[in-house]
Amino acid sequence: MKTVVLKGYIDADLVSRTTEQIADILEKNKDESISLEIDSDGGNMAQAIKFLKYVKIYVEGTNGTYVSVKIVNAKSSAALVALSLGHKRVMKKDSVLELHRGTLQIEVKDIDVLTGRLVSGKLPEKTLAVLQDYTDRFLDLLKNFRIDSNPGSMAKLRLTGWLKLSAEECLRLGMVDELF
């Protein structure tokens, strides 16, 4: 099993470096198992989704690639990555996984300088597409781990936009298979 580390702010450079490592490993041995170690406070949601799509393409292009996820630290878009991948997930005992509803960023060029309103009167299509993709994935995670049926957790998420879960809570909810 080869280890690939996703560490730091998730941006285009990190996604490029990490996917290149995965591609190099699988190019040498298409059945090699991969351990993805995540230590990230999150980053750009579009880049996190791009990373998920790349990994899916690489793994589906192999016969027997097994992906395990080792969570050292995973917040926001890094938590989305951690929970969306892996045949097996392990998590550091003293860590916290932080789910975040996300932050939408728009570019200055999309806002009229004089009025402060969106130039076209609506968000750019690309921004809407990324937002919808992230929202769909996020809602699937809430449903898959039955968080959506927990009124207390949903209230925290609605009020603050964040849901912080201890390693023990993640284990109990079935988000991870074991703690280390």
- Model pLDDT, residue 63: 66
Q: Are strands 2-7 and 88-91 parallel, antiparallel or unpaired?
A: unpaired
Given a cut of 90, whether residue 160 has pLDDT beyond it is: yes
List pLDDT tens digits, range 11-20: 999 999 999 9
Can you tell me the mean pLDDT for 153-171?
A: 95
From CA 84, how far away is CA 69, in angstroms rounded? Answer: 10
Can you tell me the mean pLDDT for 81-89?
A: 93
Can you tell me the mean pLDDT for 58-81?
A: 88
Q: Taking Cα atoms as reference points, which of 54, 104, 102 lies closest to residue 78?
A: 102
Position with higher pLDDT, 109 vs 138: 138
- Its pTM stands at 0.86
Architecture of domain 2-102+151-179: Alpha-Beta Complex (3.90)
Position with higher pLDDT, 39 vs 134: 39
**Domain spans of the chain?**
2-102+151-179
Q: Taking Cα atoms as reference points, which of 145, 164, 153, 149 lies closest to residue 100?
A: 164
H or E element, residue 111: none
E strand residue ranges, 84-161: 88-91, 96-100
DSSP class of residue 70 equals E
List pLDDT tens digits, range 15-45: 999 999 999 998 898 888 999 999 999 999 9
Helix axes 45-60, 12-28, angle to 10 degrees: 10
E strand residue ranges, the chain: 2-7, 34-40, 67-75, 88-91, 96-100, 162-166, 178-179
Can you tell me the mean pLDDT for 147-171?
A: 95
